Amino acid sequence: MVTKITKFQEKVYAITRKIPKGKTMTYGEIAKILKSSPRAVGQALKRNPYAPIVPCHRVIHTDGRIGGYSGIKDSKKKVKLLKLEGIKIVKGMILK
């Protein structure tokens, strides 16, 4: 099945692709760049067919919470990927 990617999703994926290994951005930061909402960014990333090339696991909540991954809330896979990249996580929160 071929997934149709919207222009908005393309923009979200282009920004997300630029997040370096070991770094994170928030849904809100991406939304601000696109003049959109964090929820819209989350919905686009939920449908990301390009993971891990488009590293949506590097996008987190503004308060440091991990958030979902591939449409799965509080995903262990997202935590595992972030830890492999050197991100420190305690009790589901990113430590900066």
1 inside domain: no
Mean pLDDT by 10 residues, the chain (96 residues): 85 97 96 97 92 92 82 72 93 83
Task: Tell me which residue range forms the domain holding 34.
Answer: 7-95
State residue 2's pLDDT score.
57
Asked if the structure places residue 2 within a domain, the reply is no
Please give the pLDDT value at position 6: 96
Question: Is residue 28 one of the residues assigned to a domain?
Answer: yes
Q: Number of folded domains in the chain?
A: 1
Residue 75 lies in a domain: yes
Q: For residue 59, what pLDDT is reported?
A: 95
Q: State the pLDDT at residue 72.
A: 55
Instruction: Say if 62 falls within a structural domain.
Output: yes
Q: Which of 30, 44, 54, 56 is catalytic?
A: 56
Question: Annotated catalytic, 56?
Answer: yes
Predicted local distance difference test score (pLDDT) of residue 75 = 73
Contacts for 93 with CB less than 8 Å, ≥ 6 apart: 63, 64, 65, 66
Q: What is residue 71's predicted lDDT score, i.e. its pLDDT?
A: 55
What CATH number is associated with residue 80?
1.10.10.10
